Amino acid sequence: MKQIDVRFTDQTVAKIKSLIGHTLIKYRCDPFDYSPSVFGIVGIITDIGSFAVTNMTEVMDYYGANEDVAIFRFEERPADQINSMVDNTTMMDVLVGQLIKDIRIVNEHQKAYKYQEQTYDVWLTRGLIFVLDSGLEISLEKNVWFSEMITVCRGKRLIETFDPVREFIDDWEPPYRGECERVVI
């Protein structure tokens, strides 16, 4: 059985959780056209620092074939170094100015089987949800496995807007089958 773990590391989770109780000043992303999805990077600017949330492809084993797989990452980065990955595009700043009450990290545990034998055990980080003191939420969700797009939403109960785990389960045909569980920490 092949095991793959591309969740945020414990150190990354600790850094993200350290933002609770601080002010989310704004987030920075490519301008929205007709979709809430942005390419590859979202900046998070707080009163204690700025961070880049990226979703960039790396070649890795994806259920038996070497594929471009987008990996979600969170790293500290100076605000002036959070720039669009699209040529000739200036990122827009979306002002927030609210206290971060909670941050939810959305992970998925995906399993693949051939007949009854488990062939893959995969953990990945699917997204982040910032819960603000007003009750408003801001979510960042990585799109499908090969896409570098990040969906940015504002609202309430945003976990309900994430792509359903059923999509992973339904993508398999006999003798293969998949299972997927979402875990929010």
List, for residues 117-138, the tens digit of each pLDDT value: 999 999 999 999 999 999 999 9
Q: Read off the pLDDT of residues 57-92 as tens digits, 9 standing for 90 and up.
A: 999 988 888 889 999 999 999 999 999 998 888 999
- Look at residue 106 in the predicted model and tell me its pLDDT: 98
Structural domain includes residue 178 = no
- Look at residue 34 in the predicted model and tell me its pLDDT: 73
Q: How confident is the model at residue 95 (pLDDT cuts 50, 70, 90)?
A: very high
How is residue 67 annotated by DSSP?
Answer: E
Q: Which of 129, 125, 10 is nearest to 70 (CA)?
A: 125
Structural domain includes residue 114 = no
Q: Which of 28, 82, 76 is nearest to 51 (CA)?
A: 76
Domain that holds residue 67: 2-101+127-161
The pTM assigned to this predicted structure is 0.94
Q: What is the largest CA-CA distance in the chain?
A: 52
Structural domain includes residue 149 = yes
Q: Read off the pLDDT of residues 133-155 as tens digits, 9 standing for 90 and up.
A: 999 999 999 988 889 999 999 99
For the chain, how many structural domains are there in total? 1
User: Between these two residues, 85 and 33, which has the higher pLDDT value?
Assistant: 85
Burial-class residue 107 by CB neighbours within 10 Å (0-12, 13-18, 19+).
buried
User: Between these two residues, 24 and 145, which has the higher pLDDT value?
Assistant: 24
The identity of residue 138, as a single letter, is: I
Structural domain includes residue 168 = no
Q: How confident is the model at residue 31 (pLDDT cuts 50, 70, 90)?
A: confident
Structural domain includes residue 170 = no
CB within 8 Å of 12: residues ≥ 6 apart: 73, 74, 75
Structural domain includes residue 174 = no
* Confidence check: pLDDT of 27 > 80: yes
Structural domain includes residue 182 = no
E strand segments, 40-164: 41-46, 49-62, 65-76, 92-114, 117-132, 137-142, 149-155
Structural domain includes residue 61 = yes
Report, as an integer, the average pLDDT of 148-166. 96
